[in-house]
Chains A and B, each alone.
Chain A
Amino acid sequence: MSDYSSENIREIYERHFVTVYRVCFMYLRNVHDTEDAVHNTFMKLIEKQKCFESTEHEKAWLIRVSQNVCKNMLRASSRRRESPAGDIAVNDSSAVSDVMIELSALPDELKIPVYLFYCDGYNSKEIGSMLHISASAVRSRLQKAREHLGSERSIV
């Protein structure tokens, strides 16, 4: 049961589906798990009946929840002694580039700033506002991410 109308859910879904999908894929690296994670993320939204200050707040919340969903899926697979990397090898190796593997190997706290900066084009101040960290912490994380990814990587 939800206070949201199906139309509202659809609007939110339309607004953020790609972002949530990409965040989840960055963690899980295979299509099937990613689809499950996206589904579970939006279910959390419906269950929580969240009220948002803005679409940015909405987006930040969904990113945070999708992270948690993915981490718990990974945790569960770890408990089952299954490796998500194994899934890649079986299902999607051809679809996952070396860069994406490097991206998903980034520490958790680096992944989202990298996504928001490079893919969505937010600056560090805006990312900091979304993630409730300082702009300098964002820059620090981006710098660490670049170090992880290798200095030769194009970062456009």
Chain B
Amino acid sequence: MSIRNEFEKIDPTEKQKKDIFRRIEESSKIKTDFRHQVIRYTSVAAAAVVVVGAVTIGVHFVTKGNGIDYTVSGSSSGAVSAADASASRADDRKDNVQDGENKSDNNTSHADNSSANDNNTIHLDINTFKAQVRNDKEFWAEIGKQFGPYHYEDSTVRFDFINGFDDFKLCTDEAMGNEIIDKVKRQWLFDNIVDFGSGYHAIKGAKDLSTSEDIEKFTRENLINGEYFEADPEFFGFSDMKGFYDAASELYTGFDYDNFKSFIPYYYAEVDGKLCISKDHGLGEKGKPHHSVELGQYLLIYDNVDPSVIYCFVAVPEMIDSSSYSFSLDFYVFINTENGLRCSVTKERPITTCGLVTDELEITTDDYGNCLINKAFHDKIMNDELTDDEFTKLISYVYTGDVSINEQPNSLVKARTEYNKTIQRTFNRYILSGGYENDDEWHITPATPGNCHSMKEWYDTACTLYADMPDYDTFLSRYSEYFKFDGQGNFYYATGRPDEQLIGGKMPFNAPSYNLFDVSPRCFTVNESTSGGTGLSIGVLYFYSVGTDDTTYGVNVAYFDVKETSEGYRFVTNEG
């Protein structure tokens, strides 16, 4: 029985569906109370008018990411009036885009299309449009309208293409620009090859298949060992696993051939000396076209604090149809090391914009419902200075599930006094063992090049922070599944892909998780009656920096049952 079949067996009936919706309606009184307001796809998307020569060819609202493109098409000649253009919804396959499918029947405004009404127009001569560093404000301001300010959550960069262009020093070093362009292009192409969306383009002889009959015939005639198709060397640029490894080694270092084979996705295999692809990853769907990386427009900016760090924004036009383009935006961080430029981070699409920098208490939630507070709020919590109202407000934002927080700040202080010494150790173990809300954040983060740590070194560091660290052997046996080691004892987070351990030319990481969490979590008591009646539970507020400039913190809650023993309080994690 396949996993897919298992999921498909979870097939709620129409009656269930209707009944649940009826409950929702009753609960929310949506029948009587809801105001009619269209869904607001508030995005990020705005207009970018691409002009080829003197010909305006289209205006595109784009929300990227497996998503839906909202395309505004204009006239094919002369200056288009974006305001006259009609929003249309395009299928996420670019080759299937149908302009003009009018969505105006519900007056939907899919995007903040204010820019469609102004005169900011990018004039591009497509004939000279090639991968290049460009520093003109007009271009990036338009991209900024399309994607909004950029905030990179794990670093300090917060860049507003429209208003912040002068706040950063541009990298105008042509040689460095060329090197970065080359690296991004190679990485991009390699990423697309490693993680192709469909076997059609990657399987030898399959790219022209179009009908189910063709596919069945092809499968009958070409399946190897009942499991694999031969990879297409034209697509990959290599024909065997060694070629794959060699290509990867041009981009990444830090692994040997045997390691490499365990890093690449499961659907690759070598059969009879040929690189093959599992049929499971094969012929189910036509792949999407690759980014037009050769046309990427680069903006390179030095970090204001560390000039060896260069932020690289890449706007890439993607052909919608033969006459229309939209843009995607990628973000990379390069670090200039003794061994040359290293790319440390790749991010597609902007991350949540955080601007909580004022002295007033600010609290909000991000797109995923995570509670964010500013430093003023954070400091007030840490100093136990919250008023009742402020505490109530905080708790109303923090996702507490069905737990009723009846206790007020005085009990928070009490709980802190009473429990903090021991909860601190428990909490550290809780975080170290993975947490539950931020499974990506408990573990070590990418290293600064040249700042490598051995496992033992990291362990010793952790011991200075965590009071209850087990002995080294126990630690290894307990957590080894999360780490891998190289021959020199350097370690890295267990992952499946080369680009996560390429940092610094080796593969080590530093900065254990304590950097990401406040080391003084704050307790509050959970009302006994809501904790099951079998004993007292406490909630622990804990914080993690969003960015490294300490202006914005995420807030989470972990719950523990409290047991009082002759040796003091013990805390048992209370995660179902």
Given contacts A53-B44, A140-B497, contact A65 B436 (CB under 8 A): no
Say whether A2 contacts B35, CB under 8 Å: yes
Q: List the B residue with the shortest CB-CB distance to A17.
A: B17
Question: Is A154 interfacial (CB-CB < 8 Å)?
Answer: yes
- Which A residues fall within an 8 A CB radius of B? 1-13, 17-18, 21-22, 25-26, 31, 35, 38-39, 42-44, 46, 48, 50-57, 60-61, 64-65, 68-69, 71-81, 84, 97, 99-100, 103, 107-109, 114-115, 118-119, 121-126, 129-130, 132-137, 139-140, 142-143, 146, 149, 153-156
DSSP majority for the A interface? Answer: helix
Given contacts A22-B7, A53-B44, contact A123 B197 (CB under 8 A): yes
The contact sample of 28 A-B pairs, CB cut-off 8 A, is: A5-B36, A6-B25, A6-B34, A11-B39, A17-B12, A38-B20, A53-B42, A53-B45, A54-B65, A55-B68, A57-B67, A65-B369, A73-B576, A76-B403, A81-B534, A100-B6, A100-B10, A108-B436, A109-B439, A119-B4, A121-B284, A129-B66, A129-B348, A132-B351, A133-B440, A135-B497, A139-B497, A155-B2
Say whether B16 contacts A35, CB under 8 Å: yes
Inter-chain contacts of A42 with B (CB < 8 A): 20, 24
Min CB gap B371→A, angstroms: 12
Say whether A76 contacts B402, CB under 8 Å: yes
Inter-chain contacts of A74 with B (CB < 8 A): 576
Q: Could you tell me which residues of chain B, from 12 to 27, have a CB within 8 Å of some CB in chain A?
A: 12, 16-17, 19-21, 23-25, 27
Say whether B439 contacts A149, CB under 8 Å: no
Inter-chain contacts of B168 with A (CB < 8 A): none
Question: Is B532 interfacial (CB-CB < 8 Å)?
Answer: yes
Min CB gap B2→A, angstroms: 4
Q: Out of B4, B27, B29, which one reaches A156, CB within 8 Å?
A: B4
Question: Is B461 interfacial (CB-CB < 8 Å)?
Answer: no
Inter-chain contacts of A133 with B (CB < 8 A): 440
Given contacts A35-B20, A137-B440, contact A53 B63 (CB under 8 A): yes
Inter-chain contacts of A55 with B (CB < 8 A): 67-68
Q: List the B residue with the shortest CB-CB distance to A42.
A: B24
Interface centre among B33, B495, B500, B576 (most CB of A within 10 A): B576
Q: Could you tell me which residues of chain B, from 61 to 79, have a CB within 8 Å of some CB in chain A?
A: 63, 65-68
Q: List the A residue with the shortest CB-CB distance to B192.
A: A125
Say whether B401 contacts A72, CB under 8 Å: yes
Q: List the A residue with the shortest CB-CB distance to B43.
A: A53
Question: Is B537 interfacial (CB-CB < 8 Å)?
Answer: yes
Q: Mark B115-153, 1 if CB is under 8 A from A, else 0.
A: 000000000000000000000000000000000000000
Say whether B6 contacts A9, CB under 8 Å: no
Interface centre among B41, B191, B351, B537 (most CB of A within 10 A): B41
Question: Is B8 interfacial (CB-CB < 8 Å)?
Answer: yes
Count class of interface residues, chain B: 35 or more
Q: Out of B7, B266, B500, which one reaches A137, CB within 8 Å?
A: B500
Q: List the B residue with the shortest CB-CB distance to A24.
A: B10
Q: Out of B41, B348, B496, which one reaches A140, CB within 8 Å?
A: B496
Say whether A52 contacts B439, CB under 8 Å: no
Inter-chain contacts of B563 with A (CB < 8 A): none
Say whether A21 contacts B65, CB under 8 Å: no
Inter-chain contacts of B9 with A (CB < 8 A): 97, 100
In the assembly, what is the distance between CA of A35 and CA of B2, in Å? 25
With A2-B33, A51-B39, A118-B7 already in contact, 16 other A-B pairs whose C-beta atoms are closer than 8 Å: A4-B30, A5-B34, A26-B10, A48-B369, A53-B42, A57-B63, A61-B367, A72-B401, A73-B401, A79-B574, A97-B9, A103-B6, A139-B195, A139-B265, A140-B500, A155-B280
Inter-chain contacts of B559 with A (CB < 8 A): 75
Inter-chain contacts of B399 with A (CB < 8 A): 68
Say whether B39 contacts A52, CB under 8 Å: yes
Inter-chain contacts of B230 with A (CB < 8 A): none
Say whether B24 contacts A39, CB under 8 Å: yes
Min CB gap A67→B, angstroms: 10
In the assembly, what is the distance between CA of A25 and CA of B10, in Å? 8
In the assembly, what is the distance between CA of A139 and CA of B365, in Å? 29
Say whether A52 contacts B41, CB under 8 Å: yes
Inter-chain contacts of A50 with B (CB < 8 A): 367
Q: List the A residue with the shortest CB-CB distance to B4.
A: A118
Inter-chain contacts of A122 with B (CB < 8 A): 66
Q: Mark B399-415, 1 if CB is under 8 A from A, else 0.
A: 10111000000000000
Say whether B436 contacts A78, CB under 8 Å: no
